[in-house]
Amino acid sequence: MKLATIEIVDDYTAESRCDEGFLKVSRLLIRNIYDNGSKSEPYHCDVVSRPGSDAVVAVLYEIDAERRVYVLLREGIRAPIYLRCRKTFVHPDPREYLSIAEVVAGLVEAGDGAGPQGLRRRATIEAYEEAGCRVSEEAFSVLGGETFASPGTSDEKLYYCAGVVRLATATPARGDGSVMEEHAQLALRELCEAITACRGGEIPDMKTEVALFRLADHLGYIPQLACFEHELPADLRRRYRRLGVEGAQERAETG
């Protein structure tokens, strides 16, 4: 079943407090205090927050017998970007976003625990909830440091993980029970193809593009060449360095 349109049943923005609802807005008057004791003029700052403000991005992947890397994406309805059609923009946007493909992701919850193990635990839960994949916590690796989604307006922080799975075992996911996650579909994409789709705007989701590139670096996979680090000629293999945490460790060990 595919989306035809989204209808606004009611708009209660004017009657709603900014600290109500799933997203909360703190409307603050703040000022900067500098190390020399001087202060800036007060200025207004709105901060958008959602519960917890931390989320795990979980890239589910598999390497097949021919050494091709495939990733599992989830395509579903995202009302906020669909409703762009009601606005006028300086840069025209002719697209109608009936659905969008994304990597698996979900908000960190209090019971998940702190640190890398907590991230792996949340990634495991989201993999089953959103993609129907049963993945052990040990199957997930943390992909480098965290990023802010939109630091000028939101305090949301994203943490990245990758988990190797048997993609053939993915089943229709139950989601979190919300209408927004109804009728979501799973899509299997070759990694280079998925990155190209991000770069070309077919998959206009920033966290997905970041996650896919981090996965490639984590695996030592070079999408442009469709090969792994160890498959490079010897002279190039000696010069190759991963950009993530593993690469930093390698550089420190080799001097």
Which residue range(s) make up the domain with 40? 12-49
Query: Is 4 part of a structural domain of the chain?
Result: no
Q: Tell whether 156 and 137 lie within a shared domain.
A: yes
Q: Tell whether 109 and 32 lie within a shared domain.
A: no
Rounded to whole angstroms, the Cα distance separating 107 from 52 reads: 7
Q: How many domains does the chain have?
A: 2
Query: Is 3 part of a structural domain of the chain?
Result: no
What CATH number did the domain enclosing 142 receive? 3.90.79.10
Q: What are the distances in angstroms from CA 42 to CA 27, 30, 39, 48, 151?
A: 13, 5, 9, 19, 19
Contacts of 241 (CB under 8 A, 6+ apart): 247, 250, 251
- Print pLDDT tens along the chain (255 aa): 788 899 999 999 899 998 888 899 999 999 999 999 999 999 999 999 988 889 999 999 999 999 999 999 999 999 999 998 888 889 888 888 999 999 999 999 989 999 999 999 999 999 999 999 999 999 999 999 999 989 999 999 999 999 999 888 777 666 666 777 777 889 999 999 999 999 999 999 999 999 999 999 999 999 999 999 999 999 999 999 988 766 554 544 444
Q: What are the distances in angstroms from CA 192 to CA 44, 74, 116?
A: 43, 17, 27
Query: Is 255 part of a structural domain of the chain?
Result: no
- Report DSSP state, residue 177: S
Q: Tell whether 78 and 144 lie within a shared domain.
A: yes
Model-level pTM?
0.90
Q: Tell whether 39 and 71 lie within a shared domain.
A: no
Q: Tell whether 94 and 59 lie within a shared domain.
A: yes
Q: Tell whether 94 and 216 lie within a shared domain.
A: yes
